Structure 1
């Protein structure tokens, strides 16, 4: 059983559209003994956002205020759109100062990827790519594996995960910095100071609801912009929600990924479950990791703590 934590809810993107799921998520976390702060954010609605730009920005910047106690976890309630709007006004210096020796962890995925990238690029703050309040903890059926693995990432200094590669994969042993998230969000930051310049990366990507050709196009954006030049491997997570039209002539997400895998110049692995979808591993963003493939089985070992400053973390042994 995880220790009891202070969890602050933050809403940098869309508003809560599924009230029942939101209430289930709150009740489950409270029933597990955790204290939730910021419950007011689940009530905010402004256009398609969880509040005005100023309100959503304050969810992040209040964590830089030394007069406010830091929680153990700052959890995004849901994704959507809206995080990019905030990036230019986040108090990176204030957050860096507070998080230097703090154990507070940001967690989220989807649109929250933009916030995670910016925090790492501008303030050296690592985070967790993991479950959110509404669609994960508030799901009709709470996935035991998602729940267990999330608390493991919070409690244990190191996490290990293994999976069967979906395609034939030569044996591999590489180490690097784990980072990534939602593919659309990553591409939206190309050419900006908010996309981390990581030259030893273990890049993980996921997406939902985008057509296969759009995913292939976004992958080429990463390649043609030079982002992949610094990556030692690409881990592909959930890629659901595509529709195949008559015009596609059978071209689907499997074709798109296989076509790109042949030209990307970086080992590209599928099979690890993360991102959108009910089952997901919680992955560190900005922590060192080791990826090994032997006989078609991949193993990823990563430091899940400390989260800041990431440069102080000891390397994992190969």
Structure 2
């Protein structure tokens, strides 16, 4: 008899505003052989949030209950805003005791970055920056690229991502892979929820941010001493920023050139990750080796939880 993998939905941020998208996503997940738990979280709505703070905290803290059987995958419904309101009430000790060394994949991106970085900082837990219910599995056409990389990251103890985007700086570095949404990451600077990573490989992405806003947030990481502690900075997708005449040619490329000139570590571009249909899945807290040169880059990842 075939045993289905289980996927539990959590909703730490915004609520899904299109029931048809939710139903399409659930159908897509079931087609992947997944048994869905927690569908009721998609029905909650309090202001712009998917439930009260208490309900959304309980979604996560239930994973610390030793009496409950752990799901194989825990997936965020969507991003938006709201995760930061939960960080001070998460049961970090209980979650660490229950999830450490368990083959459970916590998956999401965007606002979920706050949860992921807090779990890494306070509980030493590795999670996955990857697809979410509505934006990815709820898409009219499910990306084969995203699906392939999702299952590869969750089931293979070692996997390699590659890009043929030529790099202006060479790199051959090894370190802890971490990061996520830039705006969320920058908002955690100075809090106990930002991991103190030494010698890491930091990846970032964002959406609908002007290049000067992106530069300002990266400068914040630079001036706070965070970037100089890393081996490399890996840039994902930064789509959605509008161009204005006032910019006079200052665009994303100009921003990247400026950042590269000051941060003092290799800056690598072309990572297919962010608010885009075709995205890779990246373990936050795994080991990684980054090789970059004029022909592109490879990122080899290991040491993350894999599904049984």
TM-score normalized by structure 2?
0.96
Q: Give the unaligned 5+ runs of structure 1.
A: 308-318
Q: Hey, what's the Cα distance between the residues in 1 that align with 2:169 and 2:260?
A: 11
Q: CA deviation at 1:258?
A: 1.5
Q: Hey, what's the Cα distance between the residues in 2 that align with 1:51 and 1:85?
A: 12
Q: CA deviation at 1:247?
A: 1.2
Map Cα deviations across residues 267-287 of structure 1 (whole Å, 9 max, x no partner): 001111011110001011000
The SS at the match of 1:48 is coil
| Number of aligned residues | 305
The SS at the match of 1:255 is helix
Map Cα deviations across residues 207-262 of structure 1 (whole Å, 9 max, x no partner): 00111110000000000001112100111001000011121112111211111111
Q: RMSD between aligned alpha carbons?
A: 1.4
Match of 1:297 in 2: 296
- Asked whether 1:91 is paired with 2:91, we answer yes
Q: Hey, what's the Cα distance between the residues in 2 that align with 1:5 and 1:234?
A: 35
Match of 1:136 in 2: 136
The SS at the match of 2:33 is coil
Match of 2:73 in 1: 73
Q: Hey, what's the Cα distance between the residues in 2 that align with 1:4 and 1:160?
A: 27
Summarize the Cα distance change of 1:208–1:304 in structure 2 as closer, same or farther, 3 Å threshold.
Answer: farther
Q: CA deviation at 1:18?
A: 2.5
Match of 2:188 in 1: 189
Further displaced range: 16-25 or 67-76: 16-25
Match of 1:244 in 2: 243
How do 1:79-118 residues align onto structure 2 when only pairs under 5 Å count?
79-118=79-118
Contact 2:166-2:293 within 8 A present in 1 as well: no
Contact 2:167-2:296 within 8 A present in 1 as well: no
Q: CA deviation at 1:166?
A: 4.7
Q: Hey, what's the Cα distance between the residues in 2 that align with 1:166 and 1:78?
A: 33
Map Cα deviations across residues 126-148 of structure 1 (whole Å, 9 max, x no partner): 01000001001111111101001
Match of 1:124 in 2: 124
Contact 2:167-2:294 within 8 A present in 1 as well: no
How do 1:1-318 residues align onto structure 2 when only pairs under 5 Å count?
4-170=4-170, 172-303=171-302, 305-306=304-305
The SS at the match of 2:45 is coil
Q: CA deviation at 1:21?
A: 1.8
The SS at the match of 1:162 is strand
The SS at the match of 2:231 is strand
Contact 2:166-2:294 within 8 A present in 1 as well: no
Summarize the Cα distance change of 1:206–1:166 in structure 2 as closer, same or farther, 3 Å threshold.
Answer: farther
Runs of 4+ in 1 over 6 A off after TM superposition: none
Contact 1:83-1:112 within 8 A present in 2 as well: yes
TM-score normalized by structure 1?
0.93
Q: CA deviation at 1:100?
A: 2.1
Q: Give the unaligned 5+ runs of structure 2.
A: none
